[in-house]
Structure 1
Amino acid sequence: MEPGLWPLLVFAFFLTHGLSAQEQHAPNITDLTFKNMDFAMDLYRKISTHHDSNIFFSPLSVSTAFTVLLLGTGGATRDQILKGLNLAQLEKDNSGELISELFQHLLTNITQDGTFKLQQATALFVGMDVHVDVAFSTQINQYFGADICNVDFGKPKVATETINEYVGKHTGNKVKEILITTEPLTKLMLINTIFFQGGWELPFNPNNTENARFYVDKYKIVQVPMMFKEDKFYMATDENLKVKVLRLSYLGGTAMLIVLPNRDVDYTEIDEEITAAKILHWNKKMVKVKLEVQLPKFKMEQSYAMQKILPDLGIGNIFQDTANLTRLSMEAGLKVSEVCQTVIEVDERGTTAAAATTVGITAYSLPRTFIVNRPFFFFIYHELTNSLLFMGRVIDPTKK
């Protein structure tokens, strides 16, 4: 992918999020984003137990969807979500509105700078015979600007087209088919979409991109288009964890962290060690150095059956007949029958608005190298709030 542009997106249904606040003070955005990072890593680790390939998802989209859902739950269903998402310490009055307010403030902070493009939308699609509680519909509109749309799930083709059209509209048509079909017995579906697009602050020159080796493991080597940039970048080295960390900034206050294990370290050894505290510590340790950066272009399409993953985090009741969604609707038998998160495209491209700057390199100041030619982790985050927008790992950049 050409440097700097990240389309991303999507979610069908309910996704997750984690947070907690320190007991000494009223919960704030810092508490929210810190615990969301840790939840993201918990979710990542559960996803990674299902396969050993590339992974990519949006913790922010997961968090938003479940926070919307939280407003409609009660009893054990609500307790499981709060605990599973690590939100329990933020919940003070059992109304859920404090958590919703924090998300509202967070999303406002993230989107107030128009230099980069971040679009997020939430919609609840309900069957024609389902009556949604007025208080619930008012709250999700107030805090999330969420839409409630009636859909005839008894006509799967029409329902599918309606939902796909909504998703396409809110993702710049980057996601055109989040659903292939819907089940006639579906009662409700919560959709959260997110689309991010940002140009590199220091764009790569496409003319410098050349095929190079990427070492998937000891036995597999693939050829990938490798981007090249020589400039001053922020980086850090973690000797204990045996990784190097590079920060690539986007225009407008977002950035990507590349976490690259040392050559003699398998990425699976790092899985259990990355935490919110680690990520924030790396950012504080960053120093600006002259670097020769080589980064592969890559695209990904990922889909996860969250109903198979979330029970491992203690969120299982919502998928069963005993689900308590009485604050959403008094309709009997409501439950989440399917949860899927789909990331259709991750595409990094150069932008014409960003001008490349050439930095002269003198003979006595040769640059260090940061060559991403083996499995690595990446995190895209909003710098002001430290909110994690997207994260993933790249095992083989030639695979979507």
Structure 2
Amino acid sequence: MFILSLVCFIVPVHSSQLPNATIMDLSYKNMDFAMNLYRKIANYHDKNIFYSPLSVSTSFAALLMATDDVTHKEILQVCNLEQLDVDDQPQLIPRLFQDLQDNISHNGSLQVEQSMALFIRQNFEVEKTFEDDLKIFFQADINVLDFGNPKETIKSINDYVRQKTADKVPEMISTLNAMTQLLLVNTIFFQGAWETPFNPDFTHNAPFHIDNYNIVQVPMMFVEDRFYTMEDEPLGARVLKLPYKDGVSMLILLPNKKTDYTTIDNEITARRFLSWIRNLEEMKLEVNMPKFKMERAYSLHNILPEMGMTSLFTDGANLARLSKAGGLRVSEVLHKAVIEVDEVGTTAAAATATGIVPYSLPKRFIINRPFFFFIYHEETNALLFMGRVIDPTKN
């Protein structure tokens, strides 16, 4: 699973009310931003959704270091970072993102890798402070390209993306605006093995109910073990935690049969998400879950203005900390995400250490209708990816 967000041009850092903010505060703020962005994306269609809130937020945290005035304030507001912006601590937000990334990647066996690259047009002068901070806080690669040769520039960018996503995304961009002066590319790659893998011998075709009138046949995986689950009765949905190895889990939110998934969209918040995690209880379960693959691309420059981020994409953009050159604005914010969910996993070493219990027929958690999923880092509650599956047969 991985994700990319690509931003043409760039943005800075300023004031608020949590001078002693922690990465847990950042994760909480990012989670609410994720839910807000999800709702905007969901307004456009009733199809599958998948994206990385962390990737998008990281891109704009880098952009914050380049902006000022109204452009700066709009990014803070839309990304829900206002309380983390402290006047006398201009580096607080980028440092929190740096600490969060370090915390996620400190376990050498956990494959969650983020990367960032700045592609600059020849003879375009970037402010040294911005360039240095980009390297310090985001370990960004700085590349000078001949944008006058679009074919070679596109190849260089796509080669970078291909390498950072282990060849999963062979093409990020196919065209390049002749006026582009600078591109910021952020990638995030995750590969997880289930702590309790599904047995491929038990995978079989089964019905998935898209709605009351449309049913598709999908490869349905099966596993029986002890899992953490809970029921959100007011919401009309059940929750299941499927852990990967090394501290990352997928949380499934399955609306009840009589609950329309669209009624849940406005109820998903960071507060509610954390309440699910706190109230999980372990029990023996039979889990049936569809295999699915998804690739999704979003033109966020068409969505973010509706959330209040407008000046960044106009001639009124203030990118003074990026360059003294005037007339700069962001022309595109592209976000591409890919996920594949299957049985793959290594048998957990502790699989037999759950204790012996009297035999009883386990309860069942059958994911055979539209559902939501969230992939998060357990130690920090950082939301790495989130999505909605309406039809598992649609890539």
TM, length-normalised to structure 1: 0.93
CA contact (8 A) 2:312 2:329 kept: yes
Give the partner amino acid of 2:374. F
CA contact (8 A) 2:197 2:346 kept: no
CA contact (8 A) 2:17 2:86 kept: no
Picking from 360, 368, 372, the partner of 1:373 is 368
User: CA shift at 1:212, angstroms?
Assistant: 0.4
Which whole-Å deviations, capped at 9, do the CAs of 1:307-357 have from their partners, x for residues lacking one? 110011101111111111110111221111111101134344513565694
Cα distance in 2 for partners of 1:217, 1:356 equals 39
Are residues 1:202 and 2:196 paired?
A: yes
Tell me the residue number matched to 1:394.
389
Greater share of strand:
2
Tell me the residue number matched to 2:133.
139
With over 3 angstroms needed to count, the CA separation of the structure-2 counterparts of 1:14 and 1:352, relative to structure 1, is farther
Picking from 73, 85, 93, the partner of 1:91 is 85
Are residues 1:327 and 2:321 paired?
A: yes
How much identity, in percent, do the aligned residues show? 51
User: CA shift at 1:115, angstroms?
Assistant: 2.5
CA contact (8 A) 1:14 1:69 kept: no
Tell me the residue number matched to 1:247.
241
DSSP-derived class of the 1:272 partner = helix
Cα distance in 2 for partners of 1:200, 1:384 equals 17
Which whole-Å deviations, capped at 9, do the CAs of 1:100-142 have from their partners, x for residues lacking one? 1111111100000122211110011111131010000011111
DSSP-derived class of the 2:6 partner = coil
Give the partner amino acid of 2:365. F
Tell me the residue number matched to 2:293.
299
CA RMSD of aligned residues (A): 2.0
Tell me the residue number matched to 1:231.
225
Tell me the residue number matched to 2:258.
264
With over 3 angstroms needed to count, the CA separation of the structure-2 counterparts of 1:305 and 1:94, relative to structure 1, is farther
DSSP-derived class of the 1:214 partner = strand
With over 3 angstroms needed to count, the CA separation of the structure-2 counterparts of 1:76 and 1:258, relative to structure 1, is same
Tell me the residue number matched to 2:105.
111
Give the partner amino acid of 2:192. G
Query: Aligned residues, how many?
Result: 389
CA contact (8 A) 1:9 1:58 kept: yes
Cα distance in 2 for partners of 1:244, 1:218 equals 20
Cα distance in 1 for partners of 2:350, 2:293 equals 23
User: CA shift at 1:361, angstroms?
Assistant: 9.2
Once the two structures are superposed, the pairs formed by residues 1-20 of structure 1 within 5 Å of their partners are: 7-13=1-7
User: CA shift at 1:94, angstroms?
Assistant: 6.5
Tell me the residue number matched to 1:189.
183
Tell me the residue number matched to 1:286.
280
Are residues 1:342 and 2:336 paired?
A: yes
Picking from 95, 104, 123, the partner of 1:101 is 95
CA contact (8 A) 1:36 1:388 kept: yes
CA contact (8 A) 2:50 2:388 kept: yes
Which stretch shifts more, 250-259 or 170-179?
170-179
Picking from 18, 38, 41, the partner of 1:44 is 38
Cα distance in 1 for partners of 2:18, 2:175 equals 48
Cα distance in 2 for partners of 1:9, 1:182 equals 20
Give the partner amino acid of 1:327. R
CA contact (8 A) 1:114 1:252 kept: no
Give the partner amino acid of 2:236. K
Which whole-Å deviations, capped at 9, do the CAs of 1:214-243 have from their partners, x for residues lacking one? 000111000000000111000010111111
CA contact (8 A) 1:14 1:65 kept: no
Cα distance in 2 for partners of 1:330, 1:349 equals 52
Which whole-Å deviations, capped at 9, do the CAs of 1:184-229 have from their partners, x for residues lacking one? 2111111000100110000011011000000001110000000001
User: CA shift at 1:24, angstroms?
Assistant: 6.9
CA contact (8 A) 2:195 2:347 kept: no
Cα distance in 1 for partners of 2:57, 2:392 equals 27
With over 3 angstroms needed to count, the CA separation of the structure-2 counterparts of 1:94 and 1:343, relative to structure 1, is farther
Cα distance in 2 for partners of 1:336, 1:79 equals 16
DSSP-derived class of the 1:246 partner = strand
Cα distance in 1 for partners of 2:242, 2:339 equals 20
TM, length-normalised to structure 2: 0.94
Cα distance in 2 for partners of 1:209, 1:361 equals 26
Give the partner amino acid of 1:309. I
DSSP-derived class of the 1:71 partner = helix
Cα distance in 1 for partners of 2:289, 2:372 equals 12
Picking from 62, 66, 71, the partner of 1:77 is 71
Give the partner amino acid of 1:270. I
Which stretch shifts more, 109-118 or 54-63?
109-118
Unaligned runs of at least 5 residues, structure 1: 1-6, 16-20
DSSP-derived class of the 1:300 partner = strand
Cα distance in 2 for partners of 1:192, 1:349 equals 29
Give the partner amino acid of 1:112. H
User: CA shift at 1:76, angstroms?
Assistant: 1.0
